[in-house]
């Protein structure tokens, strides 16, 4: 959107509050700060990176899921736009609370966020509205789940029905692994899933083969605007080995999303989802992330919905975005997205996640980050699990940093991102050495 269309946006008067503390929120805050309309960007609670950045104001005392606390603070501090990053405050009803008090907010309501917070909800929604996805069944009874696995055979996929920070999914290559996953999720709850009402429940679904892509759109309830395409690396280890994680690296654009795949994703997944949500009486506003599987025959199937931007996809996507993000999200918050266009840097952006020792199951905290490069306009180390303790940056989460860079082509972006990685040091640092390999 050009400033000429919105002359009131020419003077920086807008105070924006970004809710969350991950790499995604650091990247959103970094980009929002560049908007000509923005006076100040606050981040609640933020992380070590947002706290250290003089251009941002972090609010470490404000918890993202304290919906009344965040709303009260936003009202008291003249916030003109709240952007909610993670799923937990969305599932806790932060958007509903802000809207009820007239605070402009970009994000889905609690009811709409069930597309992510309940696998059972989203699978039933997709079945009802004919949105392509893997065949599935839902179980609360472990014996029935075990019997279903034996009937269907392996490989098979077991998903916890609740928020699990990307770790509630087991792609079981053997029957034994699938049975063990059911025991973990229905009995042991080893993954620390926040169960939905009715207690522990699993979705067991058909294994899909193909290449994944992250398809993320901005929605205002009526109009949909696709972001640049991206691809994430979900497995911990090189060559897509090891356990699933929240994401070990990402890049944009994703060549697997050809124009034909893009059309299918919009026409078969995104637009029917918008129409279905509206028909069900819960119009969708906010970022919507469809995790897609592009099968070898070119079909597009929905693996999952997330009701937010991806992390780490946000980091490369924000580096490529040239439009005024605050103007776009404010227009969306006011149901005025129609006519808005986004412009993108034609270069590739690639981000490498630097994770803590023990990630994903038992990440160690408190390691000191002893080396970090200086950011430039097109090479930035975004923070995720870091905390500022005095002048010292310490690790405080599983995914610690995301070294992200732009380059002419995937290879150049990859080289520049890994040049950043070489300049980072903390004990136990784990990272993949092959981010972007599918696009090379």
Which residue, 161 or 304, has its beta carbon nearer to ligand AMP? 304
User: How far apart are CB 65 and ligand AMP at their closest, in Å?
Assistant: 21
Which residue, 159 or 179, has its beta carbon nearer to ligand AMP? 159
Other beta carbons within 10 Å of 391: 6
Q: Is 42 exposed, middle or buried (0-12, 13-18, 19+ CB in 10 A)?
A: buried
User: How far apart are CB 304 and ligand AMP at their closest, in Å?
Assistant: 3
Among 25, 161, 268, 311, binds ligand GLY (CB under 6 A): 311
Which residue, 96 or 304, has its beta carbon nearer to ligand AMP? 304
Decide if 397 contacts 356 (C-beta within 8 A). yes
User: How far apart are CB 256 and ligand AMP at their closest, in Å?
Assistant: 13
User: How far apart are CB 165 and ligand GLY at their closest, in Å?
Assistant: 9
Decide if 291 contacts 254 (C-beta within 8 A). no
Which residue, 70 or 115, has its beta carbon nearer to ligand AMP? 115
Which residues of the shown chain bind ligand AMP in the complex (CB under 6 A)? Answer: 134, 157, 159, 169, 171, 205-208, 212, 234, 244, 291, 303-304
What is the DSSP code string of 342-358? --B-SSEEEEEEEE-TT
User: How far apart are CB 108 and ligand AMP at their closest, in Å?
Assistant: 17
Q: Which one of ligand GLY, ligand AMP, none interacts with residue 72, CB within 5 to 8 A by kind?
A: none
3-state class of 408 per DSSP?
coil
Q: Which one of ligand AMP, ligand GLY, none interacts with residue 53, CB within 5 to 8 A by kind?
A: none
User: How far apart are CB 291 and ligand GLY at their closest, in Å?
Assistant: 7
By CB under 6 A, tell whether 25 contacts ligand GLY.
no
Reference 232, options 256, 248, 220; nearest CA is: 248
Among 25, 232, 268, 367, binds ligand GLY (CB under 6 A): 232
Which residue, 99 or 301, has its beta carbon nearer to ligand AMP? 301
User: How far apart are CB 215 and ligand AMP at their closest, in Å?
Assistant: 12
Q: Whole-angstrom Cα distance, residue 291 to residue 407?
A: 25
List Cα–Cα distances, 49 to 21, 43, 312, 338, 340, in angstroms. 10, 11, 15, 34, 31
User: How far apart are CB 42 and ligand GLY at their closest, in Å?
Assistant: 23
Q: Whole-angstrom Cα distance, residue 438 to residue 440?
A: 6
Segment near ligand GLY (CB under 6 A), from 89-97, 125-133, 174-182, 303-311?
Answer: 303-311
Decide if 349 contacts 414 (C-beta within 8 A). no
Dihedral over alpha carbons 18, 19, 20, 23 (to 10 degrees): -20
Q: The tokens of 179 are what? A: 């049975």
Among 58, 110, 306, 404, binds ligand GLY (CB under 6 A): 306
Decide if 340 contacts 423 (C-beta within 8 A). no
Which residue, 222 or 235, has its beta carbon nearer to ligand GLY? 235
What is the DSSP code string of 135-188? -EEEES-HHHHHHHHHHH-SSEEEEESEE-TT-SEEEESSHHHHHHHHIIIIII
3-state class of 291 per DSSP?
strand
3-state class of 388 per DSSP?
strand
N-terminal to C-terminal alpha carbon distance within the chain: 33
- Report the residue closest to ligand AMP, judged by CB: 304
Q: Which one of ligand GLY, ligand AMP, none interacts with residue 159, CB within 5 to 8 A by kind?
A: ligand AMP
By CB under 6 A, tell whether 53 contacts ligand GLY.
no
By CB under 6 A, tell whether 247 contacts ligand GLY.
yes
User: How far apart are CB 245 and ligand AMP at their closest, in Å?
Assistant: 9
Q: Which one of ligand GLY, ligand AMP, none interacts with residue 310, CB within 5 to 8 A by kind?
A: ligand GLY
What residue ranges bind ligand GLY (CB under 6 A)?
A: 166, 232, 246-247, 306, 310-311, 313
């Amino acid at each position: 959107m050009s400033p000429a269309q919105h002359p009131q946006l020419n003077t920086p008067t807008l105070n924006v509050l970004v809710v969350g503390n991950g790499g995604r929120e650091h990247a959103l805050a970094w980009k929002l700060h560049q908007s000509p309309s923005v006076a100040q960007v606050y981040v609640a609670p933020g992380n070590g990176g947002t706290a250290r950045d003089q251009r941002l104001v972090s609010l470490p005392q404000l918890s993202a899921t304290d919906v009344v606390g965040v709303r009260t603070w936003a009202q008291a501090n003249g916030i003109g736009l709240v952007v909610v990053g993670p799923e937990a405050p969305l599932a806790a009803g932060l958007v509903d609370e802000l809207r009820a008090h007239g605070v402009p907010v970009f994000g889905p309501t609690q009811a709409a966020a069930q597309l992510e917070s309940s696998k059972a909800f989203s699978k039933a929604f997709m079945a009802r509205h004919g949105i392509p996805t893997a065949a599935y069944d839902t179980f609360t009874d472990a014996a029935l789940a075990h019997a279903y696995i034996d009937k269907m055979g392996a490989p098979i996929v077991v998903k916890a029905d609740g928020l699990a920070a990307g770790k509630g999914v087991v792609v079981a290559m053997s029957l034994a692994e699938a049975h063990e996953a059911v025991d973990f999720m229905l009995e042991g709850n080893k993954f620390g899933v926040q169960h939905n009402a009715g207690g522990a429940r699993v979705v067991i679904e058909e294994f899909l083969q193909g290449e994944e892509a992250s398809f993320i759109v901005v929605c205002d309830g009526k109009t949909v605007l696709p972001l640049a395409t991206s691809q994430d690396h979900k497995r911990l280890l090189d060559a897509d080995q090891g356990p699933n994680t929240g994401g070990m690296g990402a890049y944009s654009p994703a060549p697997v999303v050809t124009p034909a795949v893009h059309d299918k994703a919009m026409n078969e997944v995104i637009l029917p989802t918008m129409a279905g949500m509206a028909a069900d009486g819960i119009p969708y506003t906010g970022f919507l992330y469809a995790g897609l599987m592009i099968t070898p025959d070119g079909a597009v199937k929905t693996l999952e919905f997330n009701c937010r931007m991806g992390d780490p996809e946000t980091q490369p996507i924000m580096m490529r975005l040239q439009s005024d993000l605050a103007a776009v999200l404010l227009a969306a918050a006011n149901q005025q997205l129609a006519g808005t266009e986004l412009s993108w840097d034609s270069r590739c952006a690639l981000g490498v996640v630097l994770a803590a020792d023990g990630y994903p199951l038992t990440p160690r905290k408190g390691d000191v980050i002893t080396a970090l490069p200086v950011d430039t306009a097109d090479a930035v180390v975004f923070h995720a699990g870091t905390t500022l303790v005095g002048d010292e940056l310490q690790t405080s989460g599983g995914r610690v940093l995301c070294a992200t860079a732009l380059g002419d082509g995937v290879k150049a972006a990859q080289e520049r991102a890994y040049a950043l990685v070489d300049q980072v040091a903390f004990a136990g640092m784990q990272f993949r050495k092959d981010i972007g390999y599918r696009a090379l």
